[in-house]
């Protein structure tokens, strides 16, 4: 049925014996068309296999129904989920997605990406690129006089843009409080790279709770990992050597937790009896670590969906100072308690 060569609105109009406007009205479900002609046109549309040219619609109407998404690190479980969440919600709201992936911070490339998206007439942008603390103001500047709204993911705040984020600090608090509740005393932390906002926040949460529990001078309890299992291994060894009476570790992601568990097993240290462990992320495998891992679950998909919702609201309103960056845009993570932190 579907004809190879593109059939235009004019072809349909001609075949139906009406004007192109009438066809336009029908395909856009506008009123002001008699039921009879509407049906007639619909039939012709079907027969000819006509589908409106979105490009032309966009140019003519000034609306692209497309949002630009700048992603990063899909190999991280969280990032992949965020993108999934974005796609689902965007789809639901009738937006198409123009995707760009970044791998590292590079101002020039960032600017090119932005320009590229704008040139494509996207109606808004979701920036889920890398959130390095030292590049945040750069991004703020870059996006300052954008012609379309932009939602930034995973960072504290921006004075110019909407921000949506996982509440990593609370996540860090949850993990640490739980370890204290379980009776652990000397709680170390293996963080992610200090340049990552997420790492900083989780660390801050840990620090808060440590302080609240009367610990000061705790810098020797901190090891900076790189998110990978191997660094969990290293971190555990380093902390163990530096702090003999260490009895628990908040490991800032599940991969590194695996490294810790692996090493603990090897040196016959029993988790959770000798060492309590809490991870972060709740990757699907974490319930199959030995022992199963207590961890902080991030609802990454929800975060992605929230970003789209927020963006959509901005797209609706005129963007002249209509934005309120209310603090409601935090998604709170949740502690999943398993064996690795609960003594028998």
Partner DNA sequence: CTGTTAGCGCATTCAT
Partner DNA sequence: ATGAATGCGCTAACAG
Binding site for its own copies (CB under 8 A): 2, 4-6, 51-56, 58-59, 64, 69, 74-75, 77, 80-81, 83-84, 87-88, 91, 96-101, 115-116, 118-121, 145, 147, 228-230, 232-233, 255, 258-259, 261-262, 265-266, 284-285, 287-290
The residue (of 9 and 163) whose beta carbon lies closer to DNA is 9
Q: How big is the chain by its Cα radius of gyration, in Å?
A: 26
Nearer to its own copies, 48 or 218 (CB): 48
10 touches which of its own copies, DNA, none (CB within 5 to 8 A by kind)?
A: DNA
Min dist. Cβ of residue 124 to DNA (A): 18
Residues paired with 151 in a beta bridge? 126, 162
Least Å distance, CB 286 to its own copies, is 9
Whole-angstrom distance, CA of residue 153 vs CA of residue 310: 11
159, β-bridge pairs = none
Backbone angles phi, psi at 334, to 5 degrees: -140, 135
Supply 287's token pair.
């319930």
3-state SS, one letter per residue, for 149-212: CEEEECCCCCCCCEEEEECHHHHHHHHHHHHHHCCCCCEEEEECCCCEHHHHHHHHHHHHHHHH
Partner whose binding site includes residue 289, from its own copies, DNA, none (CB under 5 to 8 Å by kind)? its own copies
Looking at the Cβ atoms of 57 and 262, the one nearer to DNA is 57
88 makes contact, choosing from its own copies, DNA, none, with CB < 5 to 8 Å by partner type, with its own copies
**Cβ distance 116 to 108 under 8 Å?**
no
| Closest separation in Å from C-beta 155 to DNA | 33
Nearer to DNA, 59 or 99 (CB): 59
Could you say which of DNA, its own copies, none residue 44 binds, taking C-beta under 5 to 8 angstroms by partner kind? Answer: none
Strand pairing report for 334-336 and 187-191: unpaired
CA angle 143, 226, 101 (to 5 degrees): 35
Nearer to DNA, 53 or 195 (CB): 53
For the bound state, the minimum distance from the C-beta of residue 9 to DNA, rounded and expressed in Å, comes to: 3
Whole-number minimum distance, CB 51 to DNA, in Å? 7
Tokens read off for 12 = 């349909």
Chain contacts with DNA (rule: CB under 7 A): 6, 8-10, 17-25, 27-28, 31-34, 36-38, 50, 52-53, 56-57, 59-62
CB of 39 to DNA, least distance (A): 10
**37: partner contacted, choices its own copies, DNA, none (Cβ within 5-8 A by kind):** DNA
* Element housing 280 (H / E): strand 276-281
* From the list its own copies, DNA, none, partner contacted by residue 8 (C-beta under 5 to 8 A by kind): DNA
Partner in contact with 110, chosen from DNA, its own copies, none, beta carbon below 5 to 8 Å by kind: none
Is residue 9 reached through a cis peptide bond, with omega within 30 degrees of 0 on the bond before it?
A: no
Structure tokens at 78: 């969280």
For 59, what's the count of Cα atoms within 13 Å in the CB-facing half-sphere? 4
Q: Residue 342, SS3? A: coil
């Amino acid at each position: 049925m579907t004809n190879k060569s593109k059939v235009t609105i004019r072809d349909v109009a001609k075949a139906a014996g009406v004007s192109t406007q009438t066809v336009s009205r029908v395909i856009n479900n506008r009123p002001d068309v008699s039921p009879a002609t509407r049906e007639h046109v619909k039939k012709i549309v079907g027969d000819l296999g006509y589908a409106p040219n979105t490009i032309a619609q966009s140019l003519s109407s000034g609306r692209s129904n497309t949002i630009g998404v700048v992603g990063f690190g899909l190999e991280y479980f969280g990032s992949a989920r965020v993108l999934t969440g974005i796609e689902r919600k965007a789809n639901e709201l009738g937006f198409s997605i123009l995707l760009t992936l970044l791998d590292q911070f590079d101002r020039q490339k960032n600017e090119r990406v932005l320009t590229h998206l704008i040139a494509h007439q996207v109606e808004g942008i979701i920036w889920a690129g890398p959130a390095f603390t030292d590049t945040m103001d750069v991004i703020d500047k870059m996006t300052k006089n954008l012609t379309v709204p932009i939602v930034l993911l995973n960072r504290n705040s921006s004075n110019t843009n909407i921000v949506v984020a996982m509440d990593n600090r609370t996540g860090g608090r949850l993990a640490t409080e739980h370890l204290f509740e379980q009776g652990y005393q000397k709680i170390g932390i293996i963080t992610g790279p200090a340049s990552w906002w997420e790492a900083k926040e989780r660390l801050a949460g840990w620090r808060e709770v440590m302080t609240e529990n009367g610990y000061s001078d705790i810098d020797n309890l901190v090891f900076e990992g790189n998110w990978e299992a191997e660094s969990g291994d290293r971190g555990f060894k380093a902390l163990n050597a530096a702090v003999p009476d260490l009895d628990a570790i908040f490991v800032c992601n599940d991969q590194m937790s695996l490294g810790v568990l692996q090493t603990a097993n090897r040196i016959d240290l029993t988790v959770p009896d000798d060492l309590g462990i809490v991870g972060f992320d709740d990757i699907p495998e974490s319930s199959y670590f030995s022992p199963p891992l207590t961890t902080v679950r991030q609802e990454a998909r929800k975060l992605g969906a929230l970003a789209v919702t927020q963006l959509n609201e901005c797209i609706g309103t005129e963007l002249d100072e209509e934005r309120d960056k209310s603090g409601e845009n935090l998604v709170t993570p949740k502690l999943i308690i398993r064996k690795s932190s609960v003594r028998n």
